[in-house]
């Protein structure tokens, strides 16, 4: 069965601390991996995707096929990073499905 | 392009009434997805539609819930005889395609409160 796991429901860090939001997936084939973010009172939006290998707002995510993980990282968290983050594998021709999400709280 | 538009933003219904949630996808997008977000929980897939077709409704409750995406007009998520447990935020997303790596664009959601 296809499954995506975000083990942490809440991650609280202080400003300037490193952040790692975990995502593990169990999918057949080779899914494309996305991270979506939902800031307070805003719509869900794409943060970054594996295929483009880019860094957005200081966040990066490395796909580890051996561990089937796609953890989201940022070396120095900012208060404006506080949001809900969703990992989303996509296999094409199906709807995008999301992990349960991790709420990141960055404290001053 | 105004983006994905959902209305109403907030909807209050009494138990037993019907709720109709509307979603207008981005211009040119023919794929629509509905998700439900319960308080303090993540997004749960409900249904995936293309124009006039339901492609995947595996996340939709078997009773009281239905969805359509007609040839003309917005996609509608319909909940009949609402119960308190239906209170949630309902999000719609659209995409241009479903090939690998296609980005989905989300609406701002409809918050349904059943009293």
User: Contact A94/B41, CB-based, under 8 Å?
Assistant: no
Chain B residue numbers touching A34 (CB-CB < 8 A): 103
User: Contact B42/A101, CB-based, under 8 Å?
Assistant: yes
User: Contact B103/A86, CB-based, under 8 Å?
Assistant: no
Chain B residue numbers touching A99 (CB-CB < 8 A): 42
Q: Quick one: DSSP state of residue A40?
A: T
User: Contact B103/A51, CB-based, under 8 Å?
Assistant: no
pLDDT band at B42 (very low <50, low <70, confident <90, very high): confident
Tell me the CA distances in angstroms from B21 to B12, B50, B65, B69, B107, one per residue in order. Answer: 12, 17, 11, 12, 12
A101 interfacial to chain B (CB closer than 8 Å):
yes
The pLDDT tens digits of the residues spanning A15-44 come to 999 999 999 988 777 788 899 999 988 889
Q: In whole angstroms, what is the distance from residue A4 CA to residue A68 CA?
A: 10
**How many angstroms separate the first and last alpha carbons of chain A?**
41
Residue A67 confidence (pLDDT): 81
Q: In whole angstroms, what is the distance from residue B14 CA to residue B82 CA?
A: 7
B79 or B100: which leads in pLDDT = B79
Between A58-62, B38-42, B82-86, the lowest mean confidence (pLDDT) is in B38-42
């Amino acid at each position: 069965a296809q499954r995506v796991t975000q083990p942490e429901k809440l991650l609280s860090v202080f400003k300037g601390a490193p952040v790692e939001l975990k995502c593990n997936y169990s999918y057949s084939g080779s899914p494309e991996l996305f991270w979506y973010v939902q800031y307070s009172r805003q719509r869900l939006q794409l943060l970054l995707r594996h295929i483009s290998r880019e860094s957005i707002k200081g966040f990066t995510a490395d796909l580890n096929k051996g561990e089937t993980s796609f953890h989201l990282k940022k070396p120095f968290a900012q208060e404006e990073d506080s949001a809900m983050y969703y990992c989303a594998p996509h296999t094409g021709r199906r709807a995008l499905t999301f992990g349960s999400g991790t709420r990141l709280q960055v404290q001053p | 392009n105004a983006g994905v538009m959902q209305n109403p933003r907030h909807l209050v219904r009494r138990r037993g009434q019907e709720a109709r949630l509307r979603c207008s996808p981005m211009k040119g997008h023919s794929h629509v997805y509905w998700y439900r977000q319960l308080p303090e929980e993540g997004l749960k897939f409900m249904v995936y539609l293309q124009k006039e077709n339901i492609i995947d409704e595996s996340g939709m409750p078997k009773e009281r819930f239905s969805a359509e995406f007609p040839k003309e007009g917005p996609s509608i998520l319909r909940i009949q005889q609402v119960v308190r447990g239906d209170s949630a935020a309902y999000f719609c997303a659209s995409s241009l395609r479903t090939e690998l790596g296609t980005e989905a664009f989300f609406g701002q959601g409809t918050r349904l409160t059943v009293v």
